[in-house]
Structures are given as structure tokens and as C-alpha cells.
Chain A
Amino acid sequence: MILNADLYREHGFLKGTYLGLKITMITMLRNLFKHDRITLNYPEEKYFYSDRFKGKHVLTVKEDGTLRCTSCMLCSTYCPAQCIHIVAADDSDKEVEKAPVSFEIEMLRCVFCGFCEEACPVDAIRLTNEYEMSGHAEQEWVADHYELAFRKSLNNGKGIVSTVDDKDRLKLRL
């Protein structure tokens, strides 16, 4: 609130205070009975950011439910915080060939810059508008691929389907 010095200069201290309090009371009463206030009753009410918000990561899945990631390691190469750790392995499907057996992000190290999203050639990692990531100190802060791809908030545990599925990729190959 901005102190209005003119109020005191014009009306003196007592009346000035009274006039100031009047504004406060009017605002308070209006906010009590009319619902046009800005403050939210978090956590009962939540603010929804746009999809462009850079929040908690998600690993997308293919239509068959497996991870879209091919573990090319471009995200972990590009990551300025060096918080992405991927272990790659052979996939039994010859078309897929390479898939991650473990994909971990150290959430406390991550700076949410979104470079991983930009580096990814297959739309396998995205940053969502989930911003609630508070927790306890003793909690495990390394998110594995089960959490990143299949947590409850993502399509009720089914995961988000990538826009670049293998069939599309093969189609692109002509």
C-alpha cells in the first residue's frame, strides 16, 4: 500500500488515519462478500498455468505404452545442470533397437531451463505445467522413469502419448 502523505497534510493526523482506515474497511468488506479477489485459498484452490510453463518433466510414451525415449543422450549432453542420467540397452524390437533401461532426473539439481525438451529429437521429454514439487528433506529426490512417465497426474498413470510415434518416424523415413 502506498502511503498517502497528502491525506495527513490536508486533514491532520486523526482524520487522516480515519480516512485511510475507511478505505481499508471498504476493501475488506467488499472482499468478504464479493468474490473478485486475487488471492487463492491454496491448496483447496489451485492456479493453472499455461502449457508453456516449465514445470515437472514428463517422459512421453508410444501408443503401445512403452517409453518414447531412444536414449540418444542428447538431453543429458545438453543439460546445463547435468542432472539427467540415462542407461541405454538393446531393445528386442529391431525397429526400436535402443531403449533406456533407466532414466533418472535429479530434481533438486534441475534448473527447469527446458533445454532437454528442445534437444530431444523424438518429443520424448517435455516440461509440464505441474509446479507442485515440494517435499521432505529425507525424501528421494531422484525421479525415475516410472515417476516421470507414469505418475498419477499423467492420464491417470497411462502416460502422455508422444506426437512422434515409431510409425510416424518410419513414415518420415519414406
Chain B
Amino acid sequence: MTEKVKLTWNGKEIEAPKGSNLLQAALDNGIEVAHYCYHSGLSVAGVCRMCMVEQDGVPRTYPSCNATCAEGMVVRNDTPKIKAAVESTLQFHLLNHPLDCPVCDQAGECGLQDYYMKHGQYDSQMIDKKVHKEKVQDIGKNVMLDAERCILCSRCTRFTEEVTKTNELGILNRGDHAEITVNENLKNDYAQNLVDICPVGALTSKDFRFKQRVWFLEEVQTTCIGCATGCSVKVSQNKNGAYRVKPIYDHEVNGHWMCDDGRNIYKHVSSPTRLQNASENINGLFVPVDEANVQNSVKNKKAKYILTAALTNGEYTNFFNAIKGSKAEIGLYTLPDQGPEFDGILRRGDKNANSRGAKAAFELAGYDHSQAALDKLLNGISSSDVVYVVIPEILYNEDHFNTLIAKVEKAAVRIALTPGETLSTLRAFNYLLPVPSFLEKNGEIINYQGSNRKLRAGRAYGEISKDVSYYGKWVNV
């Protein structure tokens, strides 16, 4: 337990750990301090000069991001002196800004727009020409760079230096010709965090580029199902679809960041090719079919279920309750490991979001979750069986999954329960039935640490109520 100190900020008494960052203490206590370069996940640079404060007994104003909390400090940032300082600092930030808010994706969540409304000097005093830099640079990994919009806060260079340690970005030249440059295209797997930490529109996402204005979006806080880490994320969506995934600060699991693989987990959810109705495979074409027809076709057949390790704990419990007392065979398909077990930052080789929860649920219900049990199930498939396969939401290795599909083909009726798109590989199935995706269900998954991570339902773009346990009840039909 660190020692706490009391200090006064704008007349309000706040408490902070001794020696902690002065700016962070204010932000934690809900005091508004303008800042660009300070980011609690990165080192202190002190280059933007926006977070200036005045302290009693100190003659000069100083940036609060570079100061530490001490007992009895009396700090203010609402004095006329500070206001004038912030105003003129912002004026310098805006000197060469191209003002292309109408075409900039950051508009609506831009630091320059926010602070301009509060601290802006509305008439430009500049008579010289603006310095132009290169726009629309694709610097790889779905990141676009516009050097003109940059305010040189150096958050991005510090990120590549400290977090990914790949050093792709740097600031070149001097004075007003200084600009962010890539020495080679981005190659780290966390590159899209640069888009999040950029306080202005200099670094924008190529994936999200011009898709939607940010003020049309609403956010749902959920958990990434891309791997066993289970990062806290928010998915931006509106009635037309889901548009992007951003990390939420969570000091226990992911900190400030998330990996680039996790940015793609939303794509199947609102895809136009997502399965909406129960469909029958007629010579390779999926045609909507009445659910009663599917039920008739599974009558008096031995049911075999192959689940994935990305369902919620509640879904497993409900499923095992639904099939209780039947002779159904159940196997667990786990996605194969991808890459190293742990890449040192966040990403894990185990791509199953809830493998711990799945295994616990299988053991509790008395079923074997091992690969050997799945192989036994697959080898035992005969022409009097009906096989239900839950399609994994995020499929990293399609070939591995196709080997499983190939083994299923002996069964009389093959049913795919899919939360996503109608992939061409699903032609091996007789029927496709929709199930909710991760963005349409509330529940919990257990990550690699064994801690419970919450999934929250946002807007629905497909099936929301009929989950795996609903089809589990068909075992008795």
C-alpha cells in the first residue's frame, strides 16, 4: 500500500499516492486538464505544454504531467495566467493545421476540436503561409498518416519505442518542418493502437476510413473473443452495422492496448452475408427453410454435438441442462494454437476465448473435452446420426476446421450452427441454423488468468434468442 498524500487542485481537496503523476491525479479525480502528449500508458514527454499549472509558492507555471504529487500542494489551472498560457499554446498547435475537419475521420472525437471550443482564439493572427506536409500516406497495418494534421505530441513514437519496441516512427526535421515519418512501414501487431492514442486526425484507421462519422456511433463495452487474453473492448455500432473495435483501459488484463487481430472480430456480426434464417442446402445454394422441416429431419436420429470453446459459461450450462439424460455425444472443438504461446504484450497462441470455461463445464457435466474424445466421436459417425457443429466465430485456420468438416460428411444430417457468414466451406452441411454472435449475448467467459470477463449485448444484427442450448433441446425431438 503506497502512502497517500492530500493536495488541493482548484480549491478541491484530492488524494493521490505519494510521488504519483500530478496530471494523472487530477484526471482520476475528475478535474479537467487539457493535454495532448500525456498518456498514462506511456512515458512523460512534456512537449505539448497544454497541462500548465500554477502552484502556490512556485513563481513559474509548469506542466503538471512532469510533476509528482506531494503532501499539501496547492495547485490551480483555472487562473487567468494559465488560461492565457493554454490559449496561446493552442494557437501554436493550430498554426499549420490544415483545418480539413470535413474530410477528417477524427472529427467529433478530436482533441483539437475539443480544446478549440474551450481555449480557442477564434481569429488567426498568422500572416505567413501554412507549412504543407504530405497527406494520405498509407504506412501499413491499416494505419493512414496525414503529416499535416499532426501536432507532434510524440505519443506514437513513444508507443513504438516503449510498448512494441519496434521503432518504426520518428520525428524528422526541425521547427515547423518537423514531421512524423516512418523509416519503414509499420510491422508490429499492435499498430492500430496508434490510431487510438493519436489525439488528432494524423493517424487514422484505414479499415474505418470514411465508413461512418463518429457521432453516429454508439458504443457497447464487451470483451474481445479473439484469443484467451480477453481484453476489455468497446464496439462502435449503429443501426447499419458494427464499425470498429477499440480497447478500454483495464489494469488487470490488457492495460490500454489491444492487438490488431482483435480489431477484426466485429466483421462477421453485421456482414451482409451473415446467416439470418434457418437455411437448407439445395445443390450448394442456401435457401431459407422452415425450422419445423429441420426438426423433422433430425427425428429418431442419434445426435452428436461438436461445440466450440468460445461460448459463454451460461450457454454451456444451459446446453448441458438441455441434453441431460439423453444419449447424445458431445465433443469440444478447440482452435489450434497460432504463433507463440505469448508474444510478450497481450496476444496469446491459445485462440479459444473461453477454453477454461468450456473445459470446466464439460467436466462438471461429466463429458470428455479432450481431442481424443473428439476424434472418437468423429470416427464413430455413421449414417444414422445427426451432427450439429457450432462454427467458431473467429476462424484463424480454416484448413484445420475443414479437416473436421470432412470427417462429419458420413452423417445422415449435418447441421451447422453459425453466428457468422455463410462461408463456402459450409456447403458440406445440410442445414445452417443461426445462433447469436458475441455482440448479441450477455454472459461471462473465463480468460487465461481464470478471471471472469463479461460479454454485453449491443444492437442485434441477426439471431438473438435461439442459442446452442435451444438446439440442444432437439435431442429429444
Contact = CB atoms under 8 A, between A and B. Distances in A.
Interface in A91-131: 94-98, 121-122
Given A77-B213, A90-B210, A174-B126, A97 B98 contact: no
Contact of A97 (B103, B128, B211): B103
Nearest to A73: B213
Chain B residues touching A, majority SS: loop
A24 B210 CA distance: 66
B233 to A, nearest CB: 25
Contact of A72 (B98, B102, B216): B102
Contact of A173 (B98, B102, B211, B216): B98
B466 to A, nearest CB: 32
Contacts, number: 39
B60 interface: no
B136 interface: yes
A89 B103 contact: no
The CB with the most chain A CB atoms within 10 A, among B107, B128, B136, B210, is that of B210
B251 interface: no
A98 B135 contact: no
Interface string A59-90: 00000000000111110010000000000111
Given A88-B210, A90-B209, A173-B130, A72 B103 contact: yes
Interface residues of B, number: 19
A95 B100 CA distance: 10
B122 interface: no
Contact of A70 (B103, B126, B135): B103
Interface in B187-244: 209-211, 213, 215-216
Interface residues of A, number: 18
Interface in A118-151: 121-122
A66 B126 CA distance: 32
Nearest to B126: A174
B136 A77 contact: no
Contacts of A97: 100, 103, 135-136
Nearest to B213: A73
A88 B210 CA distance: 6
B210 A174 contact: no
A94 B135 contact: yes
The CB with the most chain B CB atoms within 10 A, among A77, A90, A98, is that of A98
Contacts of A73: 213, 216
Contacts of A71: 210
B210 A98 contact: yes
A73 B102 CA distance: 8
A173 B99 contact: yes
A97 B136 CA distance: 8
B101 interface: yes
A173 B129 CA distance: 8
A74 B129 CA distance: 28
A140 to B, nearest CB: 21
A95 B219 CA distance: 32
User: Which 10 A-B pairs give the minimum distances between C-beta atoms?
Assistant: A72-B102, A98-B103, A88-B210, A73-B213, A70-B102, A97-B103, A94-B136, A174-B129, A70-B103, A94-B135
9 contacts: A70-B102, A70-B103, A72-B101, A72-B103, A74-B102, A89-B210, A94-B136, A98-B103, A122-B102
Given A90-B210, A98-B102, 15 more contacts: A70-B102, A71-B210, A72-B103, A72-B213, A73-B216, A88-B210, A89-B210, A95-B135, A97-B135, A97-B136, A98-B210, A121-B102, A122-B102, A173-B130, A174-B129
